[in-house]
Amino acid sequence: MARGRNKSADGPWALVTGASSGIGAAFARALVSRGERVVVVARRVERLRALQEELGGADQVDVITLDLARPEGPARLEAELGKRGREIDLLVNNAGRGDTGRFVERPVEASLEVIDLNVRTTVELCARLVPAMAARGRGRVVNVVSMSAFQPVPFFAVYAASKSFLLSFTESLAVELEGTGVRVQALCPGNIKTEFQQVAGTDKVLFDKTPASPPEDVVAASLAGLERGTLVVIPGLQNRLTVAAQSLVPRSLTRRLAGELFRPR
């Protein structure tokens, strides 16, 4: 784990996981531009250091290099935050993983890695960091979910199921935290052109041809929704219309249409 400068606790920080590219890096840039200081977490230290330098150095961006998919990852992150005196006022659970293909043909390890990072890590970081927010009477949580949370997605089955879990978990957590001063959001973007596609394999399916949003637009929608107190944020009018339409057609149709978008070609 890379160690940053040992500075005393001097006010709140935001924490962004999966910050080396895509939505995570866009969150870091947007938050710093709004005057917030950010702890960025990911595995690729070179990317994080470059982001730190871009955004004003160690006084604005603190770097922690860590693989959150490992069982000990969230506990190590909590310990490092405590060691550095970082009081987290905003938790952005962005780190995630996908795996495209026919479930019975995919390695079991690949499916378990998706569950570990998308589900276990997010829940554990909430469990470790949100109680302190509630005790202080303020805080914000953004769990990056997905439009895939709203229906089954054949050939992307474990990922979609993990995001359905996160949507349900986030909505439930929001109710439990009412009156505590902690705001919670489920951010549900659609197609975004990031490195996630190459890693997950979605760059080789029909879904990759659907309209895509820039990460910066997704983050702008998230932060605006957080200020309004919107629980479920679906960036983009077309995406919101798509989700609304899904409630009007049989579920058997939505899962077949989703399957065609992700069927390996």
Beta-carbon contacts of 108 under 8 Å, excluding residues fewer than 6 positions away, are none
Q: Which residues of the chain have pLDDT under 50?
A: 1-8, 200
pLDDT in tens, 151-201: 999 999 999 999 999 999 999 999 999 999 999 999 999 888 655 555 545
Predicted local confidence at residue 83, as pLDDT: 97
Predicted local confidence at residue 209, as pLDDT: 58
Predicted local confidence at residue 247, as pLDDT: 85
Return the DSSP state at 70: S
Beta-carbon contacts of 179 under 8 Å, excluding residues fewer than 6 positions away, are none
Strand partners, 41: 17, 64
- Check: CB of residue 144 under 8 Å from CB of residue 169: no
Catalytic residue annotation: 159
What architecture (CATH level 2) is domain 12-262?
A: 3-Layer(aba) Sandwich (3.40)
CA distance 136 to 219: 26
Is this structure's pTM higher than 0.95?
A: no
Predicted local confidence at residue 261, as pLDDT: 86
Domain ranges for the chain: 12-262
Predicted local confidence at residue 200, as pLDDT: 47
Predicted local confidence at residue 8, as pLDDT: 40
Task: Sort 97 into a burial class: Cβ within 10 Å, 0-12 / 13-18 / 19+.
Answer: buried
